[in-house]
Structure formats: structure tokens, C-alpha cells
Amino acid sequence: MKKNITTTEDRELWQPIHIKNIENWQKTLAKLNQPSGGVTFVNEAETQLEELYQLRNPKTRFLQDYKKESDEFKFKNIHKTEWFYFPWLKKMVLFLKEDMHTELRTGRNRNLITSQEQKKFYNSHITILGMSVGSHVALTIALTGGGKFLTLADPDKISGSNINRIRTGFYNLGLNKTKAVARQIFEINPYSKIKIYPEGVNEKNLHSLLNNKIDLLIEETDYPYLKIKIREMVRPLGIPVIMAADNGDGVIADIERYDKNKKLQILHGLLGSMTSEEFKLIPPRNLPKIMAKIAGAKLSSVRMIESVMEVGNTLYSWPQLGSAATLCGSVLANIGRKILLGQPLKSGRYDINIDGFFGEEKNKKRKAVLLKKLGVE
């Protein structure tokens, strides 16, 4: 067997290193036990400044000659840069200062997102629990220039079967999901402030996790007990909660505006007044019915229900498609941004049904039979 030259310690690194003195970069890496050999330098500062000049001066799009003004702008700002080293990539990358980097990176968002909205979105504190669907939400938020302050939680590691729906490569097998997602976000914006909980959400850390400043909570955990418990804790704090479940190629999205109504029923009252502690007492035979209600079985496609009912029989686990997980990320990032920017989205459960949109035939009789078997009518 060939010797693995990448140490476990190196492989677990997930934060970039800010190199404050590029002349002494080798000494900096040595202090951090990072090998300096084989490092690639990426310096595209002039290209970035050229594009930033164009974004600030949109009339240049129709001008033939603006080189003099552009060169003056680059000369004036070429020193406004920061080096970051990404140990998992073995790359040293030069970025513009944070305000300029953010302006460049979000320049094409305007005016779908105004400059004022972008600033508010960027400075939001967002907590995402669960990094399957949640990974797509986190990355889409980062892509659209939001959530500089992110908290990510998930106990699981990337597995081979995850890569049908999580945007990463097989080289990340065995890496904790929060670290894999944090790396990608830092590659987009090294100025991000990210906290990770690689142990996931549990009763021991719930209080410390939810006592952080949170403007928006995105809940994508797998366990019904935690879904209820988390909402019991954030509801009196007035923290809005959003969630999405993939449904074949579609999405079922949930919005709970506890920021508008602290007396709002948990999970839209689908479980009545059941508390998390009462949930613990439910007999195992009744769990499928409860989980079906939480997941939105009434809105699920026939193929999705049929597949779920085969779990443990002909299927090892419930099916999830990358197309739906990606759509979940887009939908929740959109919903989250609107909530953070004060737009009047109402609490409720929403069905984004792509199959229905394109006219796929619905077998209502078959669906009614399946729901009856699940105990959901």
C-alpha cells in the first residue's frame, strides 16, 4: 500500500490563513506546521481592479478608450489587497480588501439586490443545521453575497452515496460536511466568519448553539425530536425558521415567522400541541405517521411516497436527487434573503411542484391508497 503523504491534521483544515506579510509567508506557514513546498500563487489583482473599475463606471461598456482612467484607478488601488493561503488547495491567493472584494463579487447582483439590501444581507447572522440540503442553502447564500456570519452544524462525514446531491468530489470522502461546506464558502469569500459544529446538533450543545446571535435559522436536521425541540427554543426568542424537503424533483418549503408571532404553532400545528418531550414517548409503530406529517406526505409525489415505503425493504434509505437538493438551496436562500430584508413573507407550507408545472399526470387514487397505508389522510 502506498504511503498517504497527506496527514489527517492537514486534511481536517478548513479555514484559510491570512498572510499579513507576503515576504515572510514561508515563516508564517512554518509556525503553523504547514509545508511551503508546492504552493501555487494566484495573483489576479489587476484583472479584479479592471473589472471593479468597469462596474463603477458602467458607461465604459460602450466606450472604445478608457485605458488611461482604468490604469490610474489600478495604480491608485493596487496596494489594497490581502493574501490568503488555502491549505487544502496548497494555493496562495490575492484578494482585494474586504469592501472592494464584496463590491466586485456582488456587482452583477444590482439592482436585483440593491446596494443597501446587499449590505444588510451580507452582515446577517445565519445558522444552518444539517449540511445535505443545508449545504446548497449555505453555498447559494454565499454566492449571492449574504451571510458573512454563518454557523454550520452536522455530525456526518461525506460518503460516496452523498455525492448524488452534495456538490463536492470523491476526494472529500470522510471529511466532515461542515468543513467541506466551510472550505467552499471561504474560497468564495475568505472574509467570512464561520463557526462550525462538526459534532452536529444535540441536547448538550443546543443552548450554546442557539444562544448565539441569530437573524435566521435554517433547519435541515433529520430527527423529528430535534425539529420540535429547536422550534420550542427559538420561538420565544422571535427567530424565524425556514426548512425545505426535496420531493422527487420538487421542493416543499416551510416558513415559520416567529419573529412576527411568538405564539405561532410549531410546524404549522401539524402535530397539534405535541411537545418534544411527548414525542419521546411515541411508540415506534406510530413514528412513520408522525414523520410523514412533518415531511409533507400529502404534498409528496406518488413516486416519492412509494420509494419511502420501500426503505428497509428494497431501498436502504429514502431517495434524494441532486436536482431537488439544489433547488432547495435556491428556494431557501431566496426566502431567507426576503425575510432578512423585511419583505412580508407569510408563514406556511409551500409546494414548488416542477412535475405538476410541466403537466405530469397525477395518480390521485394511487396516492390516496398510499397515504392511507401511512396513516395520513
Q: What is the pLDDT of residues 259-294, one digit of tens each?
A: 999 999 999 998 888 999 999 898 877 776 777 777
Instruction: Tell me the mean pLDDT in the region 102-122.
Output: 97
Beta strand residue intervals within the chain, DSSP E: 17-19, 40-42, 81-86, 91-96, 125-129, 149-153, 193-197, 216-219, 241-247, 250-256, 348-352
In the block, residue with C-alpha cell 411542484: 353
User: Distance between CA 288 and CA 318 in Å, rounded?
Assistant: 13
User: Distance between CA 179 and CA 197 in Å, rounded?
Assistant: 9
Side by side, the strands of the sheet bearing 91-96 are: 17-19, 81-86, 91-96, 40-42
Which domains are seen in the chain, by residue range?
8-96 (no CATH), 115-266+320-357 (3.40.50.720)
pLDDT higher than threshold 90 for residue 140: yes
The pLDDT, as a whole number, for residue 26 is: 94
Percentage, residues of the chain above pLDDT 90: 68
The pLDDT, as a whole number, for residue 3 is: 37
In the block, residue with C-alpha cell 470523491: 170
Instruction: Tell me the mean pLDDT in the region 182-186.
Output: 98
Q: Which of 121-135, 277-291, 302-316, 344-358 has the lowest mean pLDDT?
A: 302-316
Q: What is the pLDDT of residues 200-215, one digit of tens each?
A: 999 999 999 998 899 9
Instruction: Tell me the mean pLDDT in the region 2-30.
Output: 78
Cα distance between the two ends of the chain: 57
The pLDDT, as a whole number, for residue 374 is: 67
Instruction: Tell me the mean pLDDT in the region 151-169.
Output: 94
The pLDDT, as a whole number, for residue 317 is: 74
Instruction: Tell me the mean pLDDT in the region 69-77.
Output: 96
